[in-house]
Amino acid sequence: MLTIALIGRTNVGKSTLFNRILGRAKALTSEIPHTTRDRNVATTVWRGVELRMIDTGGIEEGKAHNAKRKTIEDEIRRQVELAVSDADMLVLVTDVREGVLPGERTISRYLRTLRKPIIVVGNKASTERQRLACQEFSALGLGPVSPVAAITGAGVGDLLDRITSYEPQDPSSKPTTADRKLSASHVEREAPTIATRVAIVGEPNVGKSSLLNAILGREEAIVLPEPFTTRDVHDVDVVIDGRTVTLLDTAGIRRLAARAAKWSGTRLEEIERLAVRRSLAAIERSDVVVLVLDATRPATRHTKHLAQAIADAGRAGLLVVNKADLISNFDPESVIANTHQLFPHLSWAPIIGTSALMGGGTRGILPAALRADAAWHRKLSAETLAAVHGTVKRRIPTAKTSFGRKRSHLIELQQTAITPPTFLLVTRRRIRLPKAIPAIVERAIREHADFEGTPIRIIVKSAKIS
């Protein structure tokens, strides 16, 4: 069951959409009477996925006779407050014919902080031109916009497909623990509208604070209307390509940098310890980790410790080799080769050379972090998985049956989770497998799909059948 709440200002067509979805999908029940007094709630099924819909707009219209005097923000904020604890997903309904209103822009900043999947719907899009005009709403930073015309039902099926794709692919099959984990993480994490949490980590003096300034100097930093419980007060949001990135613990980075610059000798060791501790905490809260290295200094045990922590936590990541300007003949190829050699457990991480001082390369950091985040959330289609399966089968030796026929060790390959992508390989029992099998599988997966920036986990299990 997936609970979605329709939100949006009055007259955008929430109730029409609500009824249209009920008409489209199969109506199951209308809910317990006393709840409908407060809000319109109904349960329906779309392609085998049970949907519970809350039309928060009904509350406003039914109750508030002075609704006109309220601002759009107040109105939507109230709807969200009512629905947010119940809803797995929010659907923000807008009116294409009116375009983006300032109030919608303000409320979007608030919605981005909620860490709930949000789908923006551009309603009243009856013509091709109006459907194109919908994309204006992607400026709200809440991801792509689904055009619909609730009154005729156009686009509603596509919208329902998009909504229900947050559920497991085949709800009729008995879910395994891993499946349940996958569906939960789908709902929590996969929506492209959720801010990507990026931690910039590294030892003191590598240039984290300078990189942060270079990034914040360029991008639009969002000042949040009020603090939220899921956030640390020192987190800062920036919008890039219409997507929100939350940079974690920005003040901490700056404070430590300032101290490192002032202190020296024995106290430096103390700062290093503190920096590593802060970095470890930031890794825990992050989706993507940017591990900063100093091109002029060899990596110490602290950096190796952080690299290990990123790998252990299964976070997406990238490596930034800063202070490239101080290396007279900075050769990216050899830097990449050397860095990968130093951090073999982050072999999947892209490497970016930067100069925070001159600004070189810094522009690439957040886009690379967003790509890594997308890879971290990637779910392979059945066709791609089958192709990977085929490749792996060809690469590992076959077994002989008692009749002397050759057959594969492999029975099945499934993706059981995302963040990080996790695969289950089912093999035949009683056959000793080459140790390199997980590596062979991982290589095949990476050949078939873009997983740069994310670790991949492979679980090998042998089946009962022999």
Residues between 293 and 322 that touch ligand GDP (CB under 6 A): 322
Q: Which stretch binds ligand GDP (CB under 6 A): 22-30, 41-49, 208-216, 283-291?
A: 208-216
Question: What are the tokens at 291?
Answer: 């591990």
Gyration radius from the chain CA atoms: 25
Dihedral of CA atoms 41, 45, 51, 55 in degrees, nearest 10, equals -30
- Please tell me whether residue 79 binds ligand GDP under the rule CB under 6 A: no
Structure tokens at 418: 């995302």
Q: Select from 325, 349, 372, 419 the one that contacts ligand GDP (CB under 6 A).
A: 325
CB nearer to ligand GDP: pick between 190 and 325? 325
Between CA 270 and CA 135 the distance in angstroms is 51
Among 134, 156, 198, 260, binds ligand GDP (CB under 6 A): 260
The stretch near ligand GDP (CB under 6 A) out of 101-109, 206-214, 231-239, 447-455 is 206-214
Per-residue mark of binding to ligand GDP, 355-394 (x: CB under 6 A): xxx-------------------------------------
Q: How far is CA 390 from CA 71, 145, 319, 356, 429, in A?
A: 58, 37, 32, 45, 20
For position 206 contacting ligand GDP by CB under 6 A, the verdict is yes
Return the ∠ at Cα 12 (arms to 51 and 50), rounded to 5°: 5
| Closer to ligand GDP by Cβ: residue 108 or 279 | 279
What's the CA gap between 191 and 225, in Å, rounded?
A: 23
Residue 236 engages ligand GDP in binding (rule: CB under 6 A): no
**Partners of 400 in beta bridges:** 406
The residue (of 342 and 357) whose beta carbon lies closer to ligand GDP is 357
By the 10 Å C-beta count (0-12 exposed, 13-18 middle, 19+ buried), 352 is classed as buried
Provide, rounded to whole angstroms, the least separation between the CB of residue 193 and ligand GDP: 31
407 membership: H or E segment, kind and range: strand 406-407
Q: What are phi and psi of 460, to 5 degrees?
A: -105, 130
In the list 113, 164, 209, 279, the residue contacting ligand GDP (rule: CB under 6 A) is 209
At closest approach, how far in Å is the CB of 452 from ligand GDP?
24
Q: In the window 144-203, what residues touch ligand GDP (CB under 6 A)?
A: 202
272 touches ligand GDP (CB under 6 A): no
Q: Counting contacts by CB under 6 A, is residue 257 touching ligand GDP?
A: yes
Judged by CB under 6 A, the residue of 44, 205, 279, 286 near ligand GDP is 205
What DSSP assignment string belongs to 342-401? Answer: H-GGGTTS-EEE-BTTTTBTGGGHHHHHHHHHHHHT----HHHHHHHHHHHHHHSPPEEP
**Interaction site with ligand GDP (CB under 6 A):** 202, 204-210, 253, 257, 260, 322-323, 325-326, 355-357
